[in-house]
Amino acid sequence: MEYKDIIYKTPVKEGLINYEKTFEGFDWEEVKNHFKSFSNHGVNIAHEAIDRHTSTDHKDKVALIWEDDDGVQKGYTFLSIKRQSDKCANVLKSIGIEKGDRVFLFLPRVPELYISIIAIAKVGAVAGPMFSAFGPEAIMDRLLDSNAKAIITTPELNQRLNEVKDQLPMLKNVILVGAKDILNEDELSYESEMNKASEVCKMRWVDPEDYLYILYTSGTTGKPKGVTHVHNDMISHYITTKWVLDLQEEDVYWCTADPGWVTGSVYGIWGPWLNGISQVVYNGRFDAEKWYSIIEKHKVTVLYTAPTALRMLMKAGDEVVKKYDLSSLRHICSVGEPLNPEVIKWGIKVYGLAIHDNWWQTETGSIMIANYPCLPIKPGSMGKPFPGICASIINSKGKELSFGKHGLLALKRGWPSMMREIWGNRQKFDEYFRISGWFATGDTAYMDSDGYFWFVGRADDVINTAGHRVGPFEVESALVEHKAVAEAGVIGKPDTERGEIIKAFIVLGQGYQPSEILRKEIQDFIKKRLAAHAYPREIEFLESVPKTRSGKIMRRVLKAKELGLPTGDLSTLEED
């Protein structure tokens, strides 16, 4: 039996136990009933995630375990986060921040980032988290488009903001974390203002449809677009965290994503705290040994990370794993790029755990399709739709396609966390709903006869070579199964004879050097693994492939550079 046909299953005692039965009888209204504020005077996700826990026996439970790459550690209970976020909310009120105002965060993963996001929600303002790696142009694009009124940053990162500040007339206040020098007229010290602020803060109750956060996704061409979400998202955040990530009362959870990416906001802040869970935050660059030491030290039970990180752990080797006690781990999930079957095979070998992949987008606001602990895993599959989500494969006219047919992955609108706006761009928003009755995701996929979905590629990534449609992910997955290949990105390159040929950009593993012999060996490997038409006719060896910080291979960047075309927005590129 081929590895891809092997199915794994994990015994489940709580959470989502019976997928089919739950899916059939699921009702979003029943989930909403978990939040008592919906039936009272209004809602606020900050109340549900933090404040309500402080009137229960959770108030002294550790909510945040923070560590940096120097080993400095801090711990915050739910009660201490409530008090700190109340003070921060009062600081924001004191500078005139009101409901609906946009407040951006340009910070590394320090505790102040998480406290400030809670505080912004408490005053009814809209949070705009940004990657700390952004350059001046990316900062300006976001602050200008959203008419941001304030920003919280550090003196070091503020130097980049200063390069474009004169082009941001709406930006009135800059709050600096860790400021030691003399402040300019529009600058405030976070610490000084927090010391003066009261711990007593009146929560701003809002309508469920009031805006909560705005995240800008990178564009293929032109400027990034501001995907906007609302407080009502909490319904999806809560239940998807509970059932897909399988979080339980005593878990110690670690989401490795930065809040500047949607996973870091939804499942690195709101989801776990809505469930009253202790979570780890690491402020530092990737290092396999450091990651393993964090899991060992803090006894992490559930890990949510990206395929890129898992491939890097795999690249670090099996021997490193043996140096650490990882026995606390019971569940691993992955998101950002489809997870290669080879990585799942490796995870079972070294961790004794199957890695559960899932799929969603910034625009969907929460997990839409997943591999659940209660269901068998088909390695390489996205899994099955979350209860309450109607997913299908359709053609360009909205007709649903039969099993095995490649088409557009689409969702029936109506789930709580669906984006409400592309900030200031109704035309762009409407493009997602151009096919009547459907939210068009822009991804191509197919569904098998068991109801599992399989990712093929972005609609504009699919390669048509000599009449054969080939998904780049399929080729990339096969490539990384070769012992010499650590990472791979695949594009279609125009060809006069075949329309397109497949070109692969390959990063070799340790101990391997580029050569014509190795290039031929890899090509033959793919011919046998996939098909004669699906092998890369061209292979280029690179030191690294361009990726977003969320782990997605930026195929459009590879293609643009190959063809000498503009690369479009690069603000989320991992390495500039």
Average pLDDT for 372-397: 95
High-pLDDT (> 90) share of the chain, %: 72
pLDDT of residue 221: 45
Average pLDDT for 111-139: 93
**Does 576 score more than 50 pLDDT?**
no
Q: What is the per-residue pLDDT across 303-337, written as a single tens digit (0 to 9) for each?
A: 999 888 898 899 898 999 999 999 999 999 999 87
**Alpha-carbon gap, residue 350 to 227, rounded angstroms:** 38
pLDDT of residue 310: 92
- The CATH T-level fold of domain 461-563 is GMP Synthetase; Chain A, domain 3 (3.30.300)
Q: What is the per-residue pLDDT across 473-492, written as a single tens digit (0 to 9) for each?
A: 878 888 998 999 999 999 99
Most confident range, picked from 243-247, 529-533, 563-567: 243-247
**Does 15 score more than 80 pLDDT?**
yes
Q: What is the per-residue pLDDT across 168-198, written as a single tens digit (0 to 9) for each?
A: 999 999 999 999 878 988 899 999 999 999 9
**Does 375 score more than 70 pLDDT?**
yes
pTM: predicted TM-score of the whole model, two decimal places: 0.84
461-563 shares the fold of 19-40+43-447: no
pLDDT of residue 349: 93
Q: What is the per-residue pLDDT across 437-453, written as a single tens digit (0 to 9) for each?
A: 999 998 889 999 999 99
Q: What is the per-residue pLDDT across 404-424, written as a single tens digit (0 to 9) for each?
A: 999 999 999 999 999 999 999
Sheet holding 439-447, edge to edge: 391-394, 407-411, 439-447, 453-458
Q: What is the per-residue pLDDT across 60-107, written as a single tens digit (0 to 9) for each?
A: 999 999 999 998 999 999 999 999 999 999 999 999 999 999 999 999
**Alpha-carbon gap, residue 158 to 173, rounded angstroms:** 12
- Two structure tokens written together for 484: 């010499």
Kindly list the distances between the CA atom of residue 56 and the CA atoms of 50, 79, 80, 417, in Å, as whole numbers in the listed order: 11, 10, 14, 27
Report the C-alpha dihedral over residues 340, 366, 554, 168, rounded to 10 degrees: -160
pLDDT of residue 465: 81
pLDDT of residue 475: 87
What are the domain boundaries of the chain? 19-40+43-447, 461-563
Q: Helices then strands (H, E): number in the chain?
A: 19, 26
Under CATH, to which class is 19-40+43-447 assigned? Answer: alpha beta
Range with lowest mean pLDDT among 31-40, 182-191, 431-440:
31-40
**Alpha-carbon gap, residue 261 to 548, rounded angstroms:** 10
For the chain, the first-to-last Cα distance in angstroms comes to 43
**Does 343 score more than 50 pLDDT?**
yes
**Does 222 score more than 60 pLDDT?**
no
Sheet holding 211-217, edge to edge: 187-189, 173-176, 150-153, 102-106, 126-130, 211-217, 225-230, 421-422
